[in-house]
Amino acid sequence: MPDQSIRRAAREQAFALLFELSFHADASVESLVACAVDAGDEPIAPDPYALRLAGAAAANLAKLDEEITKRLKKWKLGRISRVSHALLRLALCEMLFFDDIPVGASINEAVELAKRYGDEEAPRFINGVLGAVARQEKTDAGTGD
């Protein structure tokens, strides 16, 4: 299992890619990585987990957004900040498609990134949406659905 700080840095890279994708919907994760590498003074070596996570999220945006939308109360997807939206996609992707990652770790890491990059309300909002997903997943697993 990778060191927690390495995995956290990888999630932060994946978040940056998903955030950038919100401005360039027709771009691929690979093209965004190429731009990031070419734009800086020093090349950025993306973490393999960051690429895997961002790639999986980008390949499943419709499914992720559908799951997020189901949990929104008195909100529309278009009203969510780009930061919160990218963080929700990131954590939800781990929760749904990465069986080797504990759900609590995905939620906690998204909340921590929200504290760093989001507005004052983002951590609580993200925790609420992801908690609703986790509760539903647990209920579904318990009923055999």
Domains, in order of start, for the chain: 4-143 (1.10.940.10)
pLDDT of residue 126: 96
pLDDT tens digits for 2-50?
A: 667 888 999 999 998 889 888 887 877 777 776 665 455 555 677 899 9
Q: Which amino acid is at 139?
A: T
Tell me the pLDDT tens digit for each residue of 114-128.
999 999 999 999 999
The secondary structure of 6-50 as a DSSP string is HHHHHHHHHHHHHHHHTT-TT--HHHHHHHHHHHSSS-----HHH
Q: Are 28 and 99 in contact (CB under 8 A)?
A: no
Q: Would you state the pLDDT for residue 142?
A: 67
**Mind listing the pLDDT tens digit for each residue in 58-92?**
999 999 999 999 988 777 888 899 999 999 999 99
Q: 118 to each of 29, 56, 62, 71, 91, how far by Cα in Å?
A: 22, 23, 23, 19, 15
CA separation for the pair 96, 21 (Å, rounded): 20
Which residue would you say has higher pLDDT here, 35 or 145? Answer: 35
Confidence of residue 145 (pLDDT cuts 50, 70, 90): very low
Q: Are 53 and 14 in contact (CB under 8 A)?
A: yes
Cα→Cα distances 120→13, 96, 134, Å = 22, 27, 23
Angle between the N-to-C axes of helices 4-21 and 82-97, in degrees from 0 to 180, rounded to the nearest 10: 120
Please report which confidence band the pLDDT of residue 141 belongs to, taking 50, 70 and 90 as the band edges: low
For residue 77, what pLDDT is reported? 83
Two tokens at 61?
A: 């945006």
Residue type for position 97: F
Provide the b/e sequence for 34-53 (b: ≥16 CB within 10 Å).
eebeeeeeeeeebbebbbbb
Query: Is residue 144 scored above 80 in pLDDT?
Result: no
